[in-house]
Amino acid sequence: MPFEALDFYRIEDELSSEERIIRDTVRDFVEKEFLPCVVDHIRQDGSFPMELVPKMAQLGLFGASLEGYGCAGMNAVAYGLVMQELERGDSGLRSFASVQGGLVMFPIHAYGSEEQKQRWLPAMARGEVIGCFGLTEPDFGSNPEGMRTKAVRRGEGWVLNGTKRWITNGSIADVALIWAQTDDGIQGFLVEAGAPGFEARDMKGKFSLRASITSELYLHDTPVPDGQRLPAVTGLKGPLSCLNQARYGIAWGAVGAALACFDEALRYSRERVVFERPLGSFQLPQQKLAWMATEITKAQLLALRLGRLKDEGKLHHAMVSMAKMNNVDVALQIARLARDMLGANGIVDDYCAMRHMMNLETVRTYEGTHDIHTLILGRELTGFNALF
């Protein structure tokens, strides 16, 4: 059944020809290559269609907003549209690209040495090297500055100890960017798979983001050469600046998930007959659809404006917080409403609404929870810090 993306306010007209071609190309890829296999992967617990990685790389989906080193170097709006289309497929697909590009390639590009950039970026753009981002720990999620993972100097290099949890792509990564406490503050280390004392174990039993691998990482006296420390950043601003990249992508991605759910519900409302009339001819379903369409339109405008601000260099991190918070929140509500409108059909994986709904519970939590972004916004508005 062909997908139709709602565009009530003709946002299409605001996009450049390149931006449209990029969006259509990624949409085509998701439709032809990803959607036919997504259900197989969510039926397994935590698995990703790895066979698509070379094609994703060939398309240029990894590190698409970075300049040089084999990356596409596209503007923020085009990058956002890519994230929208990927998440229209599944939040797991968007997460894969977000982690690779926004959370691992971006910090290497921004804070790495020339040697690190040459070594990792082209191979990551080609999808030959997969990366993961290790910030969260069992006891430190919203407050990463309290992290216990520690790096201490030993001889020329470093030794790392600690545990990271909830790490997307952890067990399949060739390189993990591990954030750790040092005497100088938090720093980033590129730890290679197979390093002594370094182990990844997959986390099972997820209801959400099942088409994505989530792992726990253990570092026990793991030696890391100094050449694998990101030299140009110290302190929490390192990881937070990465998250700002990825959150920007999520603001767009959430729109994609919402578009998928809305399209499905609208179609269903036309075809499903209840009490001898189409579902969509009753007032309550219409009210739901009208609300969804309005919220999607607002979210699209928020994302587009945010992208243009980013391209003009006028982005403030609290603006990203507002868009991440709002767009994921409404996408989740839209997914729930779509699920509701589908009745019993809404609970099976032939339909996408419940899959998106469950995924969006993760998206609401990671990259700064809904509440944390609310408090960031509150602090920005009032000048009072209610976070801690």
Ligand X SMILES: Cc1cc2nc3c(=O)[nH]c(=O)nc-3n(C[C@H](O)[C@H](O)[C@H](O)COP(=O)(O)OP(=O)(O)OC[C@H]3O[C@@H](n4cnc5c(N)ncnc54)[C@H](O)[C@@H]3O)c2cc1C
Which parts of this chain interact with ligand X (CB under 6 A)? 99, 133-136, 141-142, 166-168, 209, 214, 362, 365-366, 369, 371-372, 375, 387-388
Site for another protein in 213-272 (CB under 8 A): none
Residues 6+ apart with CB under 8 A from 351: 264, 268, 342, 345
What residue 371 binds from ligand X, another protein, none (CB within 5 to 8 A, per partner kind)? Answer: ligand X
Regarding 74 and contact with another protein (CB under 8 A), the answer is yes
d(CA 315, CA 58) in angstroms, rounded, equals 30
Largest CA distance in the chain: 79
DSSP string, 78-134: HHHHHHHHHHHH-HHHHHHHIIIIIIIIHHHHHHS-HHHHHHHHHHHHTTSS-EEEE
Between the alpha carbon of residue 296 and those of residues 58, 73, 107, 250, 368, the distances in Å are 31, 28, 31, 14, 22
Q: Of the residues 19, 216, 295, 367, which is catalytic?
A: 367
97 and 30 Cβ atoms separated by less than 8 Å: no
Quick one: which of 8, 28, 201, 347 contacts another protein (CB under 8 A)? Answer: 28
With binding defined as CB under 8 A, does residue 29 bind another protein? yes
CA distance 168 to 260: 23
Closest CB 18 distance from another protein, rounded Å: 6
Classify residue 51 by its DSSP letter. Answer: G
With CB atoms as reference, the residue minimizing the distance to ligand X is: 141
- Nearest approach in angstroms of CB 75 to another protein is 9
* Residue 29 Cα distances to 70, 80, 123, angstroms: 20, 16, 22
Q: Which of residues 82-111 bind another protein (CB under 8 A)?
A: 82
Q: Does 276 bind another protein (CB under 8 A)?
A: no
Find which of another protein, ligand X, none residue 71 binds, CB within 5 to 8 Å per kind: another protein
From CA 327, how far away is CA 373, in angstroms rounded?
A: 12
102 — phi, psi (to 5°)? -80, -35
Q: Is 367 a catalytic residue?
A: yes
- Give 134 or 162: the residue with its C-beta nearer to ligand X: 134
338 is a contact residue toward another protein (CB under 8 A):
no
Position 58 contacts another protein (CB under 8 A): yes
What angle separates helix 76-89 from helix 283-311, to the nearest 10 degrees?
140
The one segment of 2-10, 178-186, 243-251, 273-281 that binds another protein by CB under 8 A: 2-10
Q: How many residues make contact with another protein (CB under 8 A)?
A: 25
Q: Does 55 bind another protein (CB under 8 A)?
A: yes
Q: Which residues bind to another protein, rule: CB under 8 A? A: 2-4, 17-18, 20-22, 24-26, 28-29, 55, 58-61, 64, 71-74, 78, 82
Residues marked active site are found at: 367
